[in-house]
Amino acid sequence: MLRIAVPNKGVLAEAAREILQEAGYRQRRDSRELVLVDPENQVEFFYLRPRDIAVYVGQGTLDVGLTGRDLFRDAQVDGGAEEIMALGFGRSVFRLAAPVGAFSSETELSGKRIATSYDGLLSAYLERTGLDAEVVHLDGAVESSVKLGVADAIADVVETGSTLRAAGMETFGESILDSEAVMIARVGARPEGLDVLLRRLKGVLVARRWVMIDYDVRRELLEQATAVTPGLESPTISPLRDESMVAVRSMVRKADANRAMDDLYALGARGILISAIHAIRL
């Protein structure tokens, strides 16, 4: 049975639950449940703190885990676990920040104190850049640390930037790490059931990003029309009773769907229909 670590709380927990449910797995009903067995799919879910998931997978206690790339790298279990799939949600950027106007470049940080909950990430960055600054570990709410005098700058996760703005702070210097939710696994390990899990997750990701488009178009415009909707592999062309026309069915990126509809309409296509894809295996 494949043993999968998933976030028990925090911003990743609900999105993790959704993607696994869409992929056809059972998920717990009660947030106090710590383990859930899904016998039909031969998997077992362990609900753990997202920060700890890299440790369990890195030590080989659990086969795979869903966590944030930043939390995974911060745990520094690089030899034990590796990222095997990016999941496209829980996006954030790990950045330096300080009160507005205090710093304009990371080079000014020498000899300064930087507060963070991600010591591993920050230390690796300081080492990489050769900056000689002191790391101050805090558990959270690091935005308050400068005002309260325990640090000169912070390094934290930024999503919308509203927490920083509210604290009168701004980012400076280059971004340290672009993060999103990822699947991690023990280095080189391919336990039974992992391929199916990854194929299902990939199916959900594609189904979220793509929609199906159907339309009718005059035969002589088919080349131009299918250039607008080339699909993932090759569009389906079906004959219509009116032999001068054909029906086309193809996948398009959700983000491009309305532009494709406009272009097809301008070309003379009609009956242009978009429908959602619920699941897909490529």
Ligand X SMILES: Nc1ncnc2c1ncn2[C@@H]1O[C@H](COP(=O)(O)OP(=O)(O)OP(=O)(O)O)[C@@H](O)[C@H]1O
Summarize as ranges the residues that interact with ligand PRP (CB under 6 A).
140-141, 143, 156-163
Least Å from the CB of residue 97 to ligand X: 14
Least Å from the CB of residue 183 to ligand PRP: 21
Nearest one of 94, 93, 90, 95 to 180, comparing CA atoms: 90
From the list ligand X, ligand PRP, none, which binds 51 (C-beta under 5 to 8 Å, kind-based)? ligand X
Residues within the interface to ligand X (CB under 6 A): 10-12, 50-51, 68, 70-71, 90, 92, 140, 157, 159, 179
Q: Quote the tokens at residue 194.
A: 């992992």
Q: Please identify, using beta-carbon distances, which residue of 50 and 65 lies nearer to ligand PRP.
A: 50
From the list ligand X, ligand PRP, none, which binds 80 (C-beta under 5 to 8 Å, kind-based)? none
Q: Please identify, using beta-carbon distances, which residue of 28 and 112 lies nearer to ligand X.
A: 28
From the list ligand PRP, ligand X, none, which binds 71 (C-beta under 5 to 8 Å, kind-based)? ligand X
From the list ligand X, ligand PRP, none, which binds 161 (C-beta under 5 to 8 Å, kind-based)? ligand PRP
Burial 143-181 (b: 16+ CB within 10 A, else e): bebbeeeebbbbbbbbeeeebbeebebbbbbeebbebeb
Q: Please identify, using beta-carbon distances, which residue of 164 and 269 lies nearer to ligand X.
A: 164
From the list ligand PRP, ligand X, none, which binds 39 (C-beta under 5 to 8 Å, kind-based)? none
| Nearest residue (beta carbon) to ligand PRP | 140
Are residues 19 and 202 in contact, defined by beta-carbon separation less than 8 angstroms? no
Q: Within a 13 Å sphere around the CA of 86, how many CA atoms are in the beta-carbon half? A: 8
